[in-house]
Copies of this chain bind each other. A is one copy, B any other.
Amino acid sequence: MATRCSSFEIQARLGAARTGVLHTPHGAVPTPAFLPVGTTGTVKALTPEDLRVTGTSMVLANAYHLWVRPGHGVVERLGGLHRFMGWDGPILTDSGGFQAWSQREHRKVREDGVRFRHHADGQWRLLTPEVAVEIQEALGVDVAMALDECIEWPADRDRVAESTARTTRWLHRCVAARRRPERTALFGIVQGGVHEDLRQAHAEEIAALDLEGFAIGGLSVGEPTEAMRAMVEASARVLPEDRPRYLMGVGYPSDVVAAVARGVDLFDCVLPTRSARFGQAFTSQGRLTLTHARYREDPEPLDPACACYTCRSFSRAYLRHLCTAGEILGPRLLTLHNVAFYQALMAGLRQAVGGGEGALAALAAEAVRWSAVLPP
């Protein structure tokens, strides 16, 4: 490709793991990086200022949702998604492929694209690969995702093979539809269910295209953890060494560490933000459910090892009170903490890769503890 708006620079390696920097038109992203989920153009409950404080360098939004509401034309006329949401750092958008999977009742996949009915207005819309690229370029994001077909788990082999073939055809249409390659990068998405040979073949197929980066999709849809990790490994080892690898929608701290060890650079997941809204906090002792009665008079911070505003300022007892009383400040303070916790994990990972095998193994063991649910 003649013009390339993003570049990826590897800084250190440890086995398959690596640290690096993804350069985008809106700044640099130290990798491995975690992108908080901001589906509709807002990471729920947080301001852009909060995100900076947590150590976030790049956020995720969703092209499909913004297409429906407020409309990509509106966002474009207001100066693009960065200005619209007040975030001047890098943005990556998912195209809507995952929504096609998660909203099974309200979509039909056809060869030309996906017909969707959105909950906001009940209207049917046809999302094609061309429309997916058009929306994301109009939003002016740094990284656009190709439209893919993400399928259910379990799915039989023929169905998986069909979907990878369609995802490849759609990817070619996405590439052909690009009008602003100097501003918006395009990542292709590896599918292939939990079939190692199909994963590998699909990764080889899309790796042949000279794209700015590649994603591993179709995971975290119910398959066992071990299958997920095997698929990450099978995909990552085939993808080009010099391009960023993005594992979509994964996962717990332990999953993130395992994927970094297998060569993944970018992550997004709703866990830290969604758990917060259900009163659950990630801590260095494990996942803490604040509504449990044991925290009723607990004067300790959420995580004594954390230096975020929430942990510096409030007791578990107060946060529990906010959550049980249904107060907005509860989700807000928990989201701030959980995102800060994930960003501290990523900083730890970037350091551990430089620190050698022992450091990464130690972090992996800790991350297993962080991912476990604390007893009531």
Contact = CB atoms under 8 A, between A and B. Distances in A.
Given A74-B297, A328-B328, A84 B318 contact: yes
A78 B44 contact: no
A333 interface: yes
Contact of A327 (B40, B313, B325): B40
Contact of A78 (B70, B313, B317, B325): B317
Interface string A40-51: 111011111100
A13 interface: no
A74 B324 contact: no
25 contacts: A40-B321, A40-B325, A41-B321, A42-B329, A45-B332, A46-B329, A47-B309, A47-B329, A47-B333, A48-B313, A49-B309, A69-B321, A69-B324, A70-B296, A70-B324, A74-B296, A74-B297, A78-B299, A78-B317, A78-B318, A84-B317, A85-B318, A86-B314, A328-B331, A328-B332
A54 interface: no
Interface in A48-86: 48-49, 69-70, 74, 77-79, 84-86
A145 to B, nearest CB: 21
Contact of A45 (B296, B321, B328): B328
A315 interface: yes
Nearest to A47: B329
Interface centre among A47, A86, A321 (most CB of B within 10 A): A321
Contacts of A332: 45, 47, 328, 332
A221 interface: no
A351 to B, nearest CB: 30
B48 A317 contact: no
A81 to B, nearest CB: 10
Given A329-B42, A329-B47, A84 B324 contact: no
A322 interface: yes
8 smallest CB-CB distances across A and B, nearest first, come from A45-B328, A70-B321, A42-B329, A86-B313, A40-B325, A42-B327, A84-B318, A86-B314
Interface residues of A, number: 39
Nearest to A46: B329
Nearest to A70: B321
A318 B86 contact: yes
Contact of A44 (B42, B77, B329): B329
Contacts of A318: 41, 78, 84-86
Contacts of A69: 321, 324-325
Interface in A308-351: 309, 313-315, 317-318, 320-322, 324-325, 327-329, 331-333
A91 to B, nearest CB: 14
Interface in A274-304: 296-297, 299
A323 to B, nearest CB: 11
A232 to B, nearest CB: 32
A120 B44 CA distance: 26
A327 B44 contact: yes
A296 B75 CA distance: 10
B317 A44 contact: no
Given A45-B328, A84-B317, 18 more contacts: A40-B321, A40-B325, A42-B329, A44-B327, A44-B328, A44-B329, A45-B332, A46-B329, A47-B332, A69-B321, A69-B324, A69-B325, A70-B320, A78-B299, A79-B299, A84-B321, A328-B328, A328-B331
